[in-house]
Chain A
Amino acid sequence: MSHTGAQLIWESLIREGVEIVFGYPGGAILPTYDAMTEYPVRHVLVRHEQSAVHMADGYARASGRVGVVVATSGPGATNLVTGLATAMLDSTPLVAITGQVGSGLLGTDAFQEVDITGITLPVTKHNYLVTRAEDVMPAIREAFAVARSGRPGPVLVDITKDAQQSRATLDWEGAEPKRHLRHLPLPLDRSELDRALELIRSAKRPIILAGHGIQLSNARAEVLALAERADIPFALTLLGLGAVPATHPLSLGMMGMHGESWVNRAIQEADLLIALGMRFDDRVTGKLKEYAPHAKKIHIDIDASELNKLVPVDVAIAADLGDVLRALLPAVPVADRSDWLGAIREWKGDSAVRDIKNLPDDGHLYAAHVMHDLWRLTKGEAVVVTDVGQHQMWEAQYYKHDGERSLITSGGAGTMGFALPAAIGAKFARPEAEVWVVAGDGGFQMTFAELMTAVQEDIKVNIAVINNGYLGMVRQWQALFYEGRYAATPILSPDFVKLADAFGIHGQRVECRGDLAAAVESARAAKGTALIEFKVEQEDSVYPMVPAGAALHDMIRRPAPSVLAETGSDPV
């Protein structure tokens, strides 16, 4: 009986390579906090447990490691739920450890008792209720294995107070997990690979759909090799941005609801889709019945339950993407598809003219300009963490992400309030990186208390608050589909410069494009966290747009510019 359960928690975390945890203490987890002081682990005290999960999420997405969260029972644990759901939908590996009331009190509605394993069941990959100290190490070890293996995701370990306080023997070897191996992919099936090759060989108008799985599988080199060898252009999902470089000649850009029109058109006209580590979310397919009607489809994803889920495919391979591509590549014939690429380029020329990016400064500040200029000023090398809304889409359209893990955003859940805490987590993971938050005035007000966390932890992130005075994305839908009735979307904000001042950080306001560069430079130069409020056009909308439920080619295009377009000034 060498250790307390609380010590075994930290002994396990250390052995899993954990250096930092994000959390918030309380009664039921107090033994664990008390034991923490003996271990070389950095603890980041958040201002709300939801932010702890987002921080761990940002940390995990920026680094590829498992993020760790600690919280107390009851309200501490329930505050994790949104964060866990966010991580679940975007396949982020996390381990959340929660305290629970003593095992003798379970089921009695004791003070701060909440059935958190019941509540989080559908938003975690798996969860555990641990009531004995000897079960702590096996549960945590398995939790890490489950979080990392196959399609990654969050795992919660709920540990009763008495399990933290009582003693057990440390037995790391004896805690080796096995069950997570049960459903790993079968060995590759040669005949499926051959069928995929045959489709690639005979395709005239193929297109790669590049998703988040590329990053999770570390398969960037393999995907690029496939694209280059077979001369196949690639379109990206929102979470796929950065998985392969945006400025690569074969990169088309983002697909889907706010994807570029030439990208969606290419998908609709393609004769082969090669879907890599993506899941045909409704935001990328539009109306399923009319989705890519001429295309044969190859779908490679590690999660077998994603195959043939919404889009029936011709070849479905459930395996690690990198493994599949390495097996496939030697047999992929070198090809030249300049006709197909030329056609897409022609479609692109037609839409690019309308692009706001190409319009001269008319004295108004457009969010699109802010993103475009931010991209140029940071040379495209920043890690950008976006919140949810119009600014998120503009960022995706105008900040060209070349680097891996350089865009962190809540895609599947679309969780407002994600950006600031996730960015703080990302900065912990990659202290050398320049980290930018891009948030709306609405979402930023959900979690800006974490500014104080950044200050307390001496973390520098740069923040662009895109203030349009509205819950802009919802306002856009109201403008388009609800006859302009702006129910509950105008939103007031505090004076962000004074707010920054109150937190003791650098703050600035920008209202015209001419002042943008200087403000960005002084934020970058500021010692700690810096905030710039961009007062942008209030009723600007994100174009192009595929209305929900419409076919992918049924886009609302960018309105024709009123000023003669100045094209060609900006090559990318």
Chain B
Amino acid sequence: MSHVLVVYTDDEPGVLTRVASLFRRRSFNIHSLTVGPTERPGVSRMTVVVDTDEATARRAVEHLRKLVNVLEVQQLGVGRSNVIRDLALIRVSAGPLKRSEVLQLVEVFRANVVDIADDSLVIECTGSLGKIEALVDTLRPFGIIELGRTGAVAMARGTRTALKAAVAPLRTGTGAMSV
């Protein structure tokens, strides 16, 4: 089962390695991982999709929270309450005979053609993981020459932003061990 983790981190060298190393070491299976800047300078945002059970996903969250460079981790379900988007570039074989058929499918999926060559097209498609998989499946019979995907970027619907909560007052509790 897929779980989506949104991880806010310091924008520093080596942070990606720390996150990736954690996933490797604890044998959490990464389906995709994307990183990019956020509305706050100095803060990066990763979306990690892991294929695992609920308990393991929760453990991944707790392990991520132990990294000094992690500001906050949000666990999002893959359901409708969250927006999860992936971008795919698909080079599909489409000679003169098949071209109009492919173009029709592009229309149906509300994808775009971004490059045209003699016997192939490059299609750009943004959407949920399911939509992209469906488009890829539909195009497969025509012959997919090259496929590139960004991996998912996710955001909860509504007004809450995890980052604000995380960055505002730091957590309380003494937490101070005697050492």
| Range class of the B interface residue count | 20 to 34
From DSSP, what is the main secondary structure of chain A's interface residues? Answer: loop
A319: B residues at CB distance < 8 A? 173, 175
Asked whether any CB of chain B lies closer than 8 Å to the CB of A518, the reply is no
Contact B55 A308 (CB under 8 A): yes
Asked whether any CB of chain A lies closer than 8 Å to the CB of B170, the reply is yes
With known contacts A121-B18, A122-B21, A217–B178 Cβ distance under 8 A: yes
A522: B residues at CB distance < 8 A? none
Asked whether any CB of chain A lies closer than 8 Å to the CB of B108, the reply is no
A187: B residues at CB distance < 8 A? 172-173
Contact B63 A320 (CB under 8 A): no
Binds A, one of B45-53, B64-72, B151-159: B64-72
Complex formed: what's the CA distance from A122 to B66 in Å?
12
Asked whether any CB of chain A lies closer than 8 Å to the CB of B174, the reply is yes
With known contacts A122-B21, A183-B171, A66–B66 Cβ distance under 8 A: no
Contact A302 B68 (CB under 8 A): no
B21 nearest CB neighbor, chain A only: A121
A188: B residues at CB distance < 8 A? 173
Binds B, one of A147-155, A164-172, A240-248: A147-155
Complex formed: what's the CA distance from A117 to B15 in Å?
12
Name the contact of B68 in the complex, choosing from A118, A125, A217 (C-beta under 8 A): A125
B63: A residues at CB distance < 8 A? 305
Complex formed: what's the CA distance from A117 to B69 in Å?
15
Contact B65 A183 (CB under 8 A): yes
Asked whether any CB of chain B lies closer than 8 Å to the CB of A182, the reply is yes
Asked whether any CB of chain B lies closer than 8 Å to the CB of A218, the reply is yes
Total number of residue pairs linking A and B with CB closer than 8 Å:
98
B59: A residues at CB distance < 8 A? 305, 308-309
B25: A residues at CB distance < 8 A? 122
B21: A residues at CB distance < 8 A? 121-122
Asked whether any CB of chain A lies closer than 8 Å to the CB of B148, the reply is no
> Which residue numbers of B lie inside 8 Å of A, CB to CB?
10, 14, 17-18, 21, 25, 55, 58-59, 62-63, 65-71, 166, 170-179
> Which residue numbers of A lie inside 8 Å of B, CB to CB?
60, 64-66, 93, 117-118, 121-122, 125-126, 129, 142, 146-152, 178-188, 216-218, 302-305, 307-309, 319-320, 323
Additional A-B contact list (7), CB under 8 Å, known A121-B21, A323-B174? A65-B179, A118-B17, A148-B179, A149-B177, A305-B65, A305-B66, A308-B58
26 pairs from A and B in contact (CB 8 Å cutoff): A117-B14, A118-B17, A121-B21, A122-B21, A149-B175, A149-B177, A150-B66, A150-B177, A152-B179, A181-B175, A182-B70, A183-B66, A184-B170, A184-B172, A184-B173, A184-B175, A185-B175, A216-B179, A217-B178, A218-B178, A302-B177, A303-B66, A305-B59, A305-B66, A308-B59, A320-B174
